[in-house]
Amino acid sequence: MDMRYINQTIIDGVANDVPLTDIYADFRGAVGKTGFYKIVLSLIETNAIPNIMVCYCGVDCARCRTFRATIDNDDEARKTVKAFYEEIGCKIEIKDLNCFGCRSDETMSACADCPYMKCGKEKGLQRCDECKEYPCESLRSYIETYVKPSAGKLIMP
């Protein structure tokens, strides 16, 4: 399949608010999931599309080491990520450190019960910052406790 066609289809889909999971369905056999998300990442990095890879809680998937380790299939990077998760008390196996973002059809096991993802989906939001109650006390505490300390460890500069 022609890469220009794939790129343009993603650009057009994003412009029309088509979920990435729906766009990916058209290319599943052609590029595979990691290939698809590498293309999305390159389109974000070249400003061809806005950064739509942001978790409900605000973590930037495009800069997340877990996401990058997943799309690069990089076990060395997963070891670094695993060490951070262990620092914050989350036990996870390297084989389970695979993330395509919380709006993908494959949520990482550590995020499967994420209250922000659940709340955002129930409210029909793409991110918590779209909520009229943003930031709720729970999210504010989560950001202070986990997101801010992850800068430089989980989030790439």
More confident residue, 14 or 91: 14
What is the extent of the structural domain holding 85?
Answer: 61-150
Residues 35 and 92 in one domain: no
**pLDDT of 1 strictly over 80:** no
Six token digits for residue 120: 């955002």
pLDDT at residue 55 greater than cutoff 80? yes
Residue whose token pair is 């390159």: 42
Q: What is the pLDDT of residues 2-14, one digit of tens each?
A: 899 999 999 999 9
- Predicted confidence (pLDDT) at residue 118 exceeds the cutoff of 70: yes
The pair of three-digit structure tokens given for residue 70, joined into one six-digit string: 């997943």
73 and 134 both lie in a single domain: yes
Residues 6+ apart with CB under 8 A from 154: 59, 64, 65, 66, 81, 84
State whether 112 and 38 are in the same domain: no
Residue at 55 is within a domain: no
The answer to whether residue 51 is domain-embedded is: no
The model's confidence at residue 45, banded by pLDDT at 50, 70 and 90, is very high
Q: Are residues 91 and 30 in the same domain?
A: no
DSSP 151: B
Question: pLDDT of 141-152, one tens digit each?
Answer: 988 887 777 766
Same domain, 78 and 32: no
Instruction: Indicate whether 68 belongs to any domain.
Output: yes
Residue 28 and residue 85 in one domain: no
Do 65 and 8 belong together in one domain? Answer: no
